[in-house]
């Protein structure tokens, strides 16, 4: 009897409580005087916190619009949510989309409004030349306008453990500049057992495929890396890429190279002191500084000296801000979007963003502002990534790329190279399979958007 009474009471109490809560949550809020602007982002932790705060700062600075910044899961989940929302006729105003997803966004004509056009319609001045050249190239069109607005920008660098270098008898102030130097250093580290592994890399496809080919001004795909139009085919099965992958395979047995996973996991090997060198995104600096227990030096990515003109500039990573198109979007809302994006690219916001998060200043003016404020002088090594983007030589293939389904194609690269590292196939076979499977994805994508 007691059991039934308890059950009944519990159910009734809950019904009452939940209907009260439901009623409360749905009670009409006082009519907002402001227009809501929804922005979805994929950042968490300190970075997500700061971007959310920028939204609040903007809201406080004016009273026409209210920006709501929300986290909708990591980039793939967030993208799925945006797709669903778009299909339901209600996409967010702004969405932060990671670099590899750009091709998918662009080739679905009608889903987005190019950001240059957004500013133009709102009557707010916007000069794409403000943004650093690699970002402009990556997110822009041949006529110079921008499809999306670069915001959090990173590039790849080389971190070295100076203590391990000393132990190995290497000069800690001379990080390897070329790949032959890298190989020698890694082998020496292993032969003196200065560390359990010579070097490792994070973000395998981004660094070993995209950054690597940019650094040597090598084409990844026809039609200007896909930027000139549809119908591009991948062209990476060449001697240079084969040599790079083969190097990784050959260095494995002695642990001069040790594979650490496809994304960010390998950084832990460097931070814990296991590996003496790390190829990593510039954004990984904060974790190393906080948790590492050794002296750190930063250098640009190494290159093969026999490639003519190398080293060229590296390309960018990170994400940019896209503006969605929707039938019920008003000119007023789009103006609010333009105003908020204008706010985000201001020097004040950009410099605070770059200083705090470890992302790079995306505009030339914010970079100069940081220079003049002495930031780079006080923080040695922080200028290495940005210089590797803007001061290194620019080439035809340092402007990025535009491929549909690039996230999946990156994973195909991961799978094929992992198979080579496992010893199941040669470097040439890996690249051949990569091209074959990657091209199939590109063709399928083109079919789906037509």
Partner 1 sequence: MQRKVIFPNRWLPYALLAPQLVVTLIFFIWPSLQALLMAFQEQDPFGLYVRFVGFDNFTMVLTDPAYYEALWRTLFFASAVTVLAMVPALLLALAADALLRARSAYTTALMIPYAIAPAIAGVLWLFMFNPAIGIVAYWVQALGVDWNPTLDGSDAMLLVILASAWKQVAYNFLFFLAGLQSIPKSLLEAAAIDGAGPWRRFRTIVFPLLSPTTFFLLVVGLVYAFFDTFGVIHAVTGGGPASDTTTLVYKVYTDGMIALDLGGSAAQSVLLMLMVIGLTMVQFRFLERRVHYS
Partner 2 sequence: MNHSPSHSLPGQFLAHAVIWIGLAITALPLYIAFVASTLSNPEIAQAPMPMLPGDQIWENYRRVIVEGMEGNFLSPPVWVMLLNSLIMALVIAVGKISVSLISAYAVVFFRFPGRMFCFWLIFITLMLPVEVRILPTYEVVTQLGLLNTYAGLTLPLIASATATLLLRQFFLTLPDELVEAAKMDGAGPLRFFWDVVLPLTRTQLAALFVIMFVYGWNQYLWPLLIVTDQNLDTIVVGIAKQIGTGDATTDWNSVMATTLLALLPPALVVLLMQKWFVKGLVDSEK
Footprint on this chain of partner 2 (rule: CB under 8 A): 3-4, 7, 10-11, 14, 17-18, 21-22, 25-26, 38, 42-50, 52-53, 55-56, 68-75, 77, 80-81, 83-85, 87-90, 154, 202, 264, 267-268, 271-274, 280-281, 283-284, 286-287, 290-293, 357-358
445 binds, among partner 1, partner 2, none (CB under 5 to 8 A by kind): partner 1
Rule CB under 8 A: is residue 333 a binding residue for partner 1?
Answer: no
Report the alpha-carbon distance of residue 388 to residue 190 in Å, rounded: 29
The dihedral built from the CA positions of residue 445, 409, 361 and 350, taken in this order, carries a sign that is positive
Which residues neighbour 307 within 8 Å (Cβ) at sequence distance 6 or greater? Answer: 216, 217, 218, 240
CB of 154 to partner 2, least distance (A): 7
228-267 residues near partner 1, rule: CB under 8 A: 259-263, 265-266
Rule CB under 8 A: is residue 449 a binding residue for partner 1?
Answer: yes
The distance of Cα 67 from the centroid of its chain, to the nearest Å, equals 23
CB of 303 to partner 2, least distance (A): 22
Report the alpha-carbon distance of residue 273 to residue 195 in Å, rounded: 7
Write down the residue that tokens 């790329």 correspond to: 401
User: What are the two backbone dihedrals, phi and then psi, of residue 421, each rounded to the nearest 5 degrees?
Assistant: -65, -30
- The only residue of 32, 110, 123, 327 in contact with partner 1, by rule CB under 8 A: 110
Rule CB under 8 A: is residue 93 a binding residue for partner 1?
Answer: no
Report the alpha-carbon distance of residue 375 to residue 73 in Å, rounded: 33
In three-state secondary structure terms, 31 is coil
266 binds, among partner 2, partner 1, none (CB under 5 to 8 A by kind): partner 1
Q: CB under 8 A: which stretch of 37-45, 78-86, 152-160, 381-389 binds partner 1?
A: 78-86
Report the alpha-carbon distance of residue 403 to residue 232 in Å, rounded: 8
Tell me whether the omega of the peptide bond preceding residue 63 falls within 30 degrees of 0, making it cis. Answer: no
CB of 331 to partner 2, least distance (A): 23
Rule CB under 8 A: is residue 429 a binding residue for partner 1?
Answer: no
Count CA atoms within 13 Å of residue 346 on its CB side.
11
Judged by beta carbon, residue 18 or residue 191, the one nearer partner 2 is: 18
Rule CB under 8 A: is residue 12 a binding residue for partner 1?
Answer: no
Query: How much helix, strand and coil, in percent to the nearest 5, is found in the chain?
Result: 50, 15, 35
180-209 residues near partner 1, rule: CB under 8 A: none
In the complex, the residues that contact partner 1 under the rule CB under 8 A are 76-77, 79-80, 83, 86-87, 104, 107-111, 259-263, 265-266, 268-269, 272, 274, 405, 407-408, 411, 414-416, 418-419, 421-422, 424, 441, 444-445, 447-450
């Amino acid at each position: 009897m007691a059991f039934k009474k308890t059950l009944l009471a519990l159910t009734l109490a809950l019904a009452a409580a939940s209907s009260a809560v439901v009623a409360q949550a749905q009670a009409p809020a006082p009519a907002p005087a402001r227009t809501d602007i929804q922005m979805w982002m994929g950042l968490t932790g300190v970075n997500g916190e700061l971007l959310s705060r920028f939204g609040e700062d903007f809201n406080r600075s004016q009273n026409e619009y209210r920006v709501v910044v929300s986290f909708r899961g990591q980039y793939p989940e967030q993208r799925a949510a945006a797709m669903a929302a778009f299909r339901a006729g209600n996409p967010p105003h702004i969405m932060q989309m990671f670099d590899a997803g750009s091709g998918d966004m662009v080739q679905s004509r009608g889903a987005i409004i190019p950001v240059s056009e957004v500013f133009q319609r709102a009557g707010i001045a916007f000069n794409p030349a403000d943004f650093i050249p690699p970002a402009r190239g990556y997110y822009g069109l041949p006529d110079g306008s921008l499809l999306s607005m670069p915001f959090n920008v990173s590039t790849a660098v080389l971190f070295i453990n100076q203590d391990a270098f000393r132990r190995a008898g290497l000069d800690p102030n001379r990080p390897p500049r070329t790949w032959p130097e890298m190989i020698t250093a890694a082998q020496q580290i292993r032969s003196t057992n200065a560390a359990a592994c010579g070097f490792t890399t994070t973000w395998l496809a981004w660094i070993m495929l995209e950054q690597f080919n940019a650094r040597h001004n090598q084409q990844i795909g026809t039609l200007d890396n896909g930027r000139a139009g549809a119908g591009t085919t991948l062209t990476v099965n060449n001697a240079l890429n084969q040599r790079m992958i083969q190097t990784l395979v050959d260095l494995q047995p002695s642990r001069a190279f040790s594979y650490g996973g496809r994304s960010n996991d390998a950084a832990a090997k460097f931070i814990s002191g296991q590996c003496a060198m790390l190829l990593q995104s510039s954004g990984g600096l904060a974790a190393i500084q906080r948790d590492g227990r050794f002296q750190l030096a930063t250098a640009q990515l190494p290159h093969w000296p026999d490639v003519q003109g190398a080293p060229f500039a590296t390309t960018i990573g990170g994400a940019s801000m896209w503006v969605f198109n929707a039938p019920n979007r008003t000119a007023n809302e789009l103006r609010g979007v333009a105003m908020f994006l204008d706010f985000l690219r201001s020097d004040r916001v950009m410099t605070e963003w770059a200083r705090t998060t470890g992302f790079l200043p995306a505009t030339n003016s914010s970079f100069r502002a940081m220079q003049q404020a002495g930031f780079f002088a006080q923080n040695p090594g922080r200028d290495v990534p940005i210089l590797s983007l803007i001061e290194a030589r620019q080439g035809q293939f340092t402007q990025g790329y535009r491929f549909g389904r690039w996230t999946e194609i990156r994973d195909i690269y991961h799978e094929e190279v992992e198979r080579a590292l496992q010893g199941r196939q040669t470097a040439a076979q890996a690249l051949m399979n990569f091209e074959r499977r990657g091209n199939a994805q590109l063709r399928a994508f083109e079919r789906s958007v037509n």
